[in-house]
Amino acid sequence: MNGRINIRNIAIIAHVDHGKTTLVDAMLKQSGIFRENERVVERVMDSNELERERGITILAKNTSVRYGPVKINIVDTPGHSDFGSEVERVLKMVDGVLLLVDAFEGPMPQTRFVLRKALELNLQPIVVINKIDRPDARVAEVVDEVLELFIDLGAEDEQIDFPVIYTCARTGQATLDMNEPGRDLRPLFETIVTNVPAPEGDENSPLQLLVNNTEYDSYQGRMVVGRVHSGRICAGQPVALIRHDGSITPAAVGRLYVFEGLKRTEVPAAGCGEIVTFAGLEDVNIGETVACRENPVQLPPIAVDEPTLKMTFMVNDSPFAGREGKYLTSRQLRARLFKEMERNVGLRVEETDLPDVFNVCGRGELHLSILIETMRREGYELQVSKPEVIYKRENGQLLEPVELLMVDIPEDKMGPVMEMLGPRKGEMLNMSGHGAGQIRLEFKVPARGLLGFRSQLLTETRGHAVMHHLFMGYEPYKGDIQRRFQGVLIAFESGVASTYGMHAAQERGTLFIIPGMDVYEGMIVGQSSREQDIEVNVCKKKHLTNMRSSTAEIALRLEEPHILSLEEAMEFLDDDELLEVTPQSLRLRKKLLTRKERQRGEKFSRLA
């Protein structure tokens, strides 16, 4: 077993917003891959449009830097728990991890998740305490918290003996000693080369490569991304593709590339330990093995945690269907969902008895909302139902997913937040304070208890709360949880919303629409101030008469409407409601649009 001494494969893992992508930016700049006069955008690895808009990493991406004779392959991973499947599959490609931890926040729920996965694969950790320039940084305490986390997760002795680097990714500085300020990232590069083991493997053995990711190239079609575990891979080489079920399909490698900086460089061959991407395999799925055709041996497939949340995706059948979208049919919707499942390993798509209805299962609300947002930008029209948790039954007992919830709030809001989580079956686990009037609360909450909680929390704390949650496991069913305590305002007729009609309707609750917007009968135009649903006529116009009074000419004033985002609209949904998603609009509606249909449905439900 002779390792490739001149290669290091690492993944950067951390909780969301702890500085992973910013650190990669600094490493790329200091490695000299950019020209001096080259204009470089911030967070250059977040190339996806949604990633740049939201400021989060959604997809894991590959790059590389050179430090002297050593090539360091880097994988930038997502920090949000909903995209944990992206982290799980890329950890199979690397030999070590940089665990990034914020110098003030310390270990967070996703820090625990990604570190547990890395320790299970016996990867060599390097702890990076980032943002040491923060005025509220508490570096020594955070290092102790990280050590406690390692011990809590059952790390081996050699893993607990981890090196610690202190960095400010924004300015590109790193140091091994807090008393000696760093000037560049050289200490970080030195630590990676010294502590991360070179990849093992024998170049004289038969080829083995695990498919960790697939991409699409406009000119070459499907591209495979993976690490060469043994042997060598060459352009044009005949190979065997070993499926998940063990069946073998003959294939051939097309053009072969390695990652150099932010670009792909074509090479004739690549040796053991290298991370490569190549064309030629059109019908390939993540987790399958590319092996030597004469002696095919399968690698252990990628296993990821199961989805915990599901939604129903269906064809748009509202009165406004077909106005904005290009892809409207059940055949197009089905093809798009199954195509997504090929590369999104944390997603599950199930067909139902109805040809235009599909059950889509994911890791969380954000996971599913990113899929919905991507599809609407591509021109799809669809309708989705409210998110529901996925239950399990073991030994006759009903089990439900439970989440670890961590909220940072002002101290004076502790009482109201605990009151909100009580009806949601939340159990308080821990409370800690970091000064500056802030307090951190940890709860164990059923996953369904968190549906709709974020918007309620931000409203109660006036936007000063920060919440994170992480899947913990399945526990016995906790009982009924009432999600929504208020009804909705339902449009009485189809037409165009008028200021006059909305002025009368706003006395009944909070509106979700603006004047001039097209509405249809059964569309939800606001939230009622009462428990029951109320029908309103937002299209009503003022009758023109020749009567005048001293107040007739006073302009009508409307309250500021609450325009729901995609995530807020998903959280707001109830059992008898749907969200209509089109390229330009989001509309909430009742499943049964007319009053007669709803009355008939209520009658049948009472009889049942």
Picking from 241, 244, 238, the residue whose alpha carbon sits closest to that of residue 224 is: 241
Query: Which range (235-239, 459-463, 495-499, 547-551) has the least confidence?
Result: 547-551
Please tell me whether 18 is known to bind a ligand.
yes
| 132 known ligand binder | yes
Q: Indicate the pLDDT class of residue 312, thresholds 50, 70 and 90.
A: very high
What domains does the chain contain, in order, with CATH numbers? 7-195 (3.40.50.300), 208-292 (2.40.30.10), 392-476 (3.30.70.240), 488-576+587-607 (2.40.50.250)
Decide if pLDDT at 165 tops 50.
Answer: yes
pLDDT at 44: 45
What is the predicted pLDDT for the residue at 35?
45
How confident is the model over 446-499, as pLDDT tens digits? 988 888 788 788 878 877 787 878 788 889 998 888 777 788 999 989 999 988
- Residue 19 in marked binding region: yes
pLDDT digits (tens, 9 = 90+) for 24-74: 888 888 876 544 444 444 444 444 565 555 555 555 678 888 888 888 888
pLDDT at position 38: 45
Task: Write down the pLDDT at residue 107.
Answer: 86
Residue 259 · residue 215 · CB < 8 Å: no
Nearest to 318 by CA among 580, 582, 583, 536: 580
- Average pLDDT over all residues of the chain: 84
Is 541 annotated as belonging to a binding site? no
What is the C-alpha to C-alpha distance for residues 441 and 469, in angstroms, rounded to an integer?
A: 12
In which band, very low, low, confident or very high, does the pLDDT at 544 lie, cut at 50, 70 and 90? Answer: low
**Do the annotations mark residue 161 as ligand-binding?**
no
**Higher per-residue pLDDT: 342 or 586:** 586
Which residue has 């570190």 as its token pair?
115
Residue 133 among known ligand-binding residues: yes
What is the arithmetic mean of pLDDT over 303-323? 87
pLDDT at 554 over 60: no
The pLDDT value recorded for residue 163 is 92
pLDDT in tens, 195-233: 988 888 888 889 999 888 887 777 788 888 889 988 899
Confidence of residue 290 (pLDDT cuts 50, 70, 90): very high
The stretch 265-283 carries a mean pLDDT of: 88
Which structure tokens are listed for 544? 């023109």
pLDDT of residue 2: 46
Scored b (16 or more CB within 10 A) or e, 92-111 reads: bbbbbbbbbbbbbbbbbbbb
Region 109-114 average pLDDT: 79
Q: Across residues 402-408, what is the average pLDDT?
A: 87
Q: Rounded to 10 degrees, what is the CA torsion of 272, 274, 279, 280?
A: 10
pLDDT exceeds 90 at position 587: yes
- pLDDT at 327 (0 to 100): 92
Q: Is 425 annotated as a binding residue?
A: no
What distance in Å separates the CA atoms of residue 437 and residue 444, rounded to the nearest whole number? Answer: 24
Distance CA 447, CA 440 (A): 20
Q: Provide the pLDDT for residue 43.
A: 43
Q: What does the H/E/C string look like for 474-500?
A: EEECCCCCCCCCCCEEEECCCEECCHH
- Give the β-pairing of 124-130 and 96-102: parallel
Question: 330-334, 433-437, 476-480, 550-554: which has the highest mean pLDDT?
Answer: 330-334
Place of tokens 């494969």: 9
575 marked among binding-site residues: no
Does the pLDDT of residue 418 top 80, yes or no? yes
| pLDDT (0 to 100) of residue 79 | 59
